[in-house]
Structure formats: C-alpha cells, structure tokens
Amino acid sequence: MSTVSRRVSRVWSPGLAFGVGALFLLTFFCGGLWLSVAGLEYQVFGLVDGLTAILVLYVLVNTAVLSWPRGAWGAVVFVYAAIATAQLVSLLLPPPGVLEWIVLAVLLYLAWNASYGAHRSRIVLTLGLVALALGVLKYSVLPFVWTRTQLPHTPILDLRALGEGIKGLVALYVPTRPINQLFALGAIVAWVLAVWLQWPPEPEDDWLQRLSRGERDRLLRWLLSAGRERGRAIAEDEIRARLERPEADM
C-alpha cells in the first residue's frame, strides 16, 4: 500500500492570514491558562505534546485539512498552527502514566491508517471523535473513578494504600476546576474556527497517483511497446480498460 499525498495550498491574503493566525494564538493562550489555589498560572506544552502535534500536522497537511505553507504568510500561519495544535494536545492527553502510553499507542495506530489516502472529511470526523473521547476520559471518567473508588483498609494488608499506588501508576490525576475546562473549551473552539477559515480548496483527484507500483509498471511497458501507435493521444478510458485486462494481454 502506497501513501497518497494530497497537499494543497491556498492563496493567503494579509487579512485572512491575520485572522487565522490570531485564532491559533488564541488557542495557544487559552489552552495554557490554569486557575489553581495559588492563583492563575500558565502551563506550556511539553516534549511529548509537541511530538504528537507534529504527527497530527503531518496527517492534516497530507490529507488537505490544513493548507500547505506557501509564501511568507502561509509559513507564519503554519507556525502558529503548530504551537496551537501542541497546546491542544496537552489539554486532551491524559495525565502522565500508563493510561497516557496506551492513548499515545492508539493515536499512532490511527495516524498510521489515516496517512493512506483517507478523505479529509473522514479525517475531520475522526479527529472530532478522538477529541471527544479524550475529553470524556480526562475530564469525566478519571475524576469519577479516582474520587469515587476507594479500597477498604484491612489490618493485614493496606488495600487502600495499594489502590492509591495503582491509581498513581495508571495516571497522575490532578483535580481541575470548571473554569479551567471553560478555558480548554475556548481553545478548542478557536482552533476549529481557525481550521475552518483556512480550509484549502478541494484537491484534484489524480487517479494515476493511486495506482500501485505493479500497475504503473504494466502501464509503462504497454506505452513503450505501442509500436505504430506510439505518440498518439491516449484517452483516460483506454488506459483504465488496459489496466483491467490480465497482465498477459498487455
């Protein structure tokens, strides 16, 4: 199976680049706000979040969800999109622990499958479902399980301490306030609006790029052995008909 790249670029005007870039910066700003007991803090994404964001950007660019950076304005917007995506990943990934490793493994598997010519509408739908699942896991499942489940204390074996140790191994859960979830929601909305505003034009369907290597070799051998017909214009339907024949007939 060969990877099909569908990179497309759009023409960036200064106004459009400023609007999209401002929304990506708003994602970066809102995604790092954290209100704790000590006061308002700002948390920047880490190395794992940045590497995961690079993988996400690779899939989005190669499936024409994000515009390929063309020109100075396109390059600036792409940089803003990179840091905004990394900050968004840090909001959705579970806390450090075994659970985070499992989620990253699943994301790698999904990205690997998505890189093989999936349509961008399917990529966007998958991305939305993954974001919803990660949000439910981090902001609903973890708080419920970590605060409502507690093993009893026994005189022989301290099961309560054992359970807390297992919880810490699975995920280092930190309680969050509703205002922090509101900041996260604002960052997600800003990122979605930015992607919607920069939505590149529909890429042309070059079906020749989707041929396997064996089909391209068969087509090349037929074109080189055309004899007296060499040099004439060949219609697309004729090429498709030739490819549907058995290899011996070509």
Give the Cβ contact number of residue 88 at 10 Å: 26
Residues linked to residue 35 through DSSP beta bridges, in sequence order: 40
For residue 26, give the nearest of 152, 193, 239, 233 by alpha carbon. 193
Whole-model pTM? 0.72
Q: How far apart are CA 51 and CA 58, in angstroms?
A: 11
One digit per residue, the tens of pLDDT, for the chain of length 250 reads 444 456 677 778 888 889 999 999 999 999 988 888 778 888 899 899 999 999 889 888 888 888 888 788 888 999 999 999 999 999 999 888 888 889 888 888 887 776 666 677 778 888 888 889 998 988 888 888 887 777 666 677 666 666 777 777 888 888 888 888 899 999 999 999 999 888 877 655 555 555 666 776 776 666 666 555 555 555 556 666 666 666 545 4
Tokens 């708003």 sit on residue:
26
Spell out the domain ranges in the chain. 14-197, 211-249
